Every structure is written in structure tokens, then in C-alpha cells.
């Protein structure tokens, strides 16, 4: 029986050599590899700056600190996203104002304006599963109401909205390099991209104990630094990201072609270039299907089974949040299929055959 994992890291001899090069360098934190990786990331995304940090969550926290987020501020954010999207804002005493989703699983931009109050300071659109949110409408509303926009790009390395890389259009973009991501560093890691030089300077200072020189601390900061070994790995991964993303798109196209009319496939808007961090189908028989696929050696996942506005940590703080009908329906039906940058198409066919067998379509 085949064993097909949900995801797999891109690991080559070049990756191993890069890690060994950094290991042998004698420098391990925020040195030449990190500087080069930041420059290459900024060039790839199309921003002036990329600031490495220890995780997406750390980067989000630093962003909120540098931008002066206060107790009682409100941020518009989809509920259907990984919990770290909202963790940093809650630590500052700000309130996530949850927005329902549309058919792309991203926030429904038509619901944004009605949720704005005098306390709203920003919008955090999530490019979920590697599909961009509708940024034209997001920025239109943000400009009208004088709000900032931070793009959550944790699952969207290389995705494009109308030809522009996500992470290049808001005041900042926040990326994750967790092992399952399209671009990984073989561990935790993240970065913030921005065109705001003053903001980038503040982020670099805050991530490193609030200092600009070794023994002079300009602010009370944090230890959210990045390391040389992971930066060296990330540089190799970055050189291969477009090739790996294009293969993900081929995998997604094969799934869509073969499963048409059997399960609900994820859409891709005409203005989007999705990179399919996840290929997420929908079926009312989700749990049965997952068990069937498991019996065939096929890994699956649910991203995410509990919406954030229903998480115990959130409902303790905000016990009377409004219902989000589309989000609440979706989380009962979604199932993530195996997908990664080197997944053989014959394995995709094996997964599709198993799904068709389950539904009696073979």
C-alpha cells in the first residue's frame, strides 16, 4: 500500500550543503546568511525591506508593537484562519472583529464596511490556502476609512494578486516558514516585508532586545531573532519556490479535473495566481472520506476544524460574538488533500482513485 503524506519538505543535497556552510561559518545569529536572505526575500516579494524573525507570530507581535496597537483597538480579520493570525493582537488588548468568508475561503470583502466602528484601526486579510484575498476592495475600504492593511501571507509565498506578489501591497506582509509551508527553513521562522524604512528599522531593533548597537538599548525589546543555518536553507528554498509552486498548480489542476462533480473543488479567481499551500475540497461526508483515505495510506488534514470565533480562548474574552454562517458551514466539510512541490502526479491519481472509489464513481 502506498504512503502519501499530506506535505513534505523540499530537501536536496544543495539544502544540506547550505546548512553545513552556515554551520562551519562560526556565525550563527543575524549575520551574513540572514542579511543575504533578507535582501533576496525583499527582491522576490518586491519590497524595500524584509525583516526576518523567529516566527509569523513573533513578526505579527512586533508589527503591532511598532505600529502602536492599543487596548480597545479593533482589527477586521477572517475567523477562518490559523489561530496565530489573531494571537498577537489579543496580547495587546485589541479585539479581532471576525468577518465571514466567500467561496475562496478568504474574507468576504462585501462584509467589511458594515463591521467598521470608531475603534477600527486596520484590516488583516489572510491569503488562505495560497489564494489571494480580493485586495482591490480591501484597499478601497482602507483608504476610505483611514485604516492600515497588514497582509497575512503565511500560506501564500509567491501568490500574486493582479500580477503583484502578496506581501508587497499593504503597510506590511507577514510570512511563515513553518516546515509545511511552500517556502520553509526546516523549522519555525518568519519575516515581515514592507516599503516603510522607519518601520523596518523599528522591527529590526525590537526583534533584537531593542538595540541598534550591541550594548545600547533604544527600547525594551524581545528576542525574536533569526539564525544563520535556517537562513542558508531558506536561500536555497527561495531559489526553487517558483518551480515548486508551479508543480503545486499542476497537482491542483489534476485534482480539479479528476474530482469535478464529485466533491467541491477550490475556485481560483481570474485575478489570482494561487500557489495551493493546501488543496481543500468540501464534502458533507468529510469524516467518512478521511477515514477511507487513511485506510489507503493517504494523509489528510482539516484546516481548520474550529473557527476562531468559536475557540474557547476567544469566547472566554468575547462571549457574545455574532454567528458567521458560511464559516461555520465550511469547517464541517473541508478536507485538505496531499500536496507539495514534488508530489508525483501518479500519487495524485492514486488519491483521486481512492476518492472516486469512496463515492462509487469508479
Q: Residue 328, by phi and psi: left (phi above 0), alpha (psi -120 to 50) or beta?
A: alpha
pLDDT tens column, 47-76: 999 999 999 999 999 999 999 999 999 999
CA 48 to mean position of chain CA atoms: 21
pLDDT tens column, 9-38: 999 999 999 999 999 999 999 999 999 999
For 112, 179, 252, 343, 346, the CA distances from 336, given in Å and listed in that order, are 27, 16, 12, 14, 18
Cell of 42: 525583499
What is 13-235's CATH number, 3.10.560.10, 3.50.40.10, 3.40.640.10, 3.40.50.10480? 3.40.640.10
User: What does the mean pLDDT of the chain come to?
Assistant: 98
pLDDT tens column, 71-103: 999 999 999 999 999 999 999 999 999 999 999
* Strand ranges inside 87-186, DSSP E: 95-99, 120-123, 148-152, 160-161, 164-165, 172-176
Q: How far apart are CA 139 and CA 336, in angstroms?
A: 30
What's residue 86's pLDDT?
A: 98
Other beta carbons within 10 Å of 294: 11
Report domain extents, the chain.
Answer: 13-235, 240-358
CATH architecture of 240-358: Alpha-Beta Complex (3.90)
What's residue 1's pLDDT?
A: 84
Spans of the chain below 70 pLDDT: none
Amino acid at each position: 500500500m502506498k504512503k502519501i503524506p499530506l506535505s513534505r519538505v523540499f530537501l536536496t543535497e544543495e539544502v544540506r550543503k547550505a546548512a553545513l556552510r552556515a554551520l562551519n561559518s562560526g556565525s550563527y545569529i543575524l549575520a551574513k546568511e540572514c542579511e543575504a536572505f533578507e535582501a533576496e526575500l525583499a527582491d522576490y516579494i518586491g519590497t524595500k525591506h524584509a525583516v526576518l524573525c523567529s516566527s509569523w507570530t513573533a513578526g505579527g507581535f512586533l508589527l503591532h508593537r511598532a505600529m502602536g496597537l492599543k487596548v480597545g483597538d479593533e482589527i477586521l480579520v477572517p475567523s477562518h484562519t490559523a489561530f496565530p493570525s489573531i494571537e498577537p493582537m489579543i496580547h495587546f488588548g485589541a479585539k479581532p472583529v471576525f468577518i465571514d468568508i466567500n467561496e475562496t475561503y478568504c474574507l468576504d470583502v462585501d462584509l467589511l464596511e458594515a463591521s467598521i466602528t470608531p475603534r477600527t484601526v486596520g484590516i488583516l486579510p489572510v491569503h488562505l490556502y495560497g489564494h489571494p484575498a480580493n485586495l482591490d476592495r480591501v484597499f478601497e475600504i482602507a483608504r476610505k476609512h483611514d485604516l492600515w492593511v497588514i497582509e497575512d501571507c503565511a500560506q501564500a509565498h509567491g501568490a500574486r494578486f493582479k500580477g503583484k506578489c502578496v506581501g508587497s501591497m499593504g503597510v506590511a506582509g507577514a510570512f511563515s516558514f513553518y516546515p509545511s509551508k511552500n517556502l520553509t527553513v526546516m523549522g519555525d521562522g518568519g519575516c515581515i516585508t514592507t516599503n516603510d524604512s522607519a518601520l523596518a528599522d523599528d522591527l529590526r531593533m525590537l526583534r533584537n532586545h531593542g538595540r541598534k548597537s550591541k550594548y545600547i538599548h533604544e527600547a525594551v525589546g524581545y528576542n525574536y531573532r533569526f539564525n544563520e543555518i535556517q537562513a542558508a536553507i531558506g536561500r536555497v528554498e527561495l531559489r526553487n519556490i517558483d518551480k515548486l509552486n508551479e508543480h503545486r498548480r499542476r497537482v491542483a489542476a489534476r485534482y480539479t479535473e479528476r474530482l469535478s462533480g464529485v466533491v467541491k473543488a477550490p475556485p481560483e479567481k481570474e485575478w489570482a495566481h494561487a500557489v495551493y499551500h493546501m488543496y481543500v475540497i468540501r464534502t458533507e461526508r468529510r469524516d467518512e472520506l478521511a477515514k477511507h483515505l487513511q485506510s489507503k495510506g493517504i494523509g489528510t488534514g482539516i484546516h481548520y476544524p474550529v473557527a476562531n470565533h468559536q475557540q474557547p480562548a476567544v469566547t472566554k474574552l468575547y462571549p457574545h460574538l455574532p454567528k458567521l454562517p458560511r464559516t461555520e458551514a465550511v469547517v464541517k466539510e473541508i478536507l485538505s488533500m496531499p500536496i507539495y512541490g514534488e508530489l508525483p502526479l501518479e500519487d495524485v491519481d492514486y488519491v483521486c482513485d481512492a476518492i472516486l472509489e469512496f463515492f462509487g464513481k469508479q
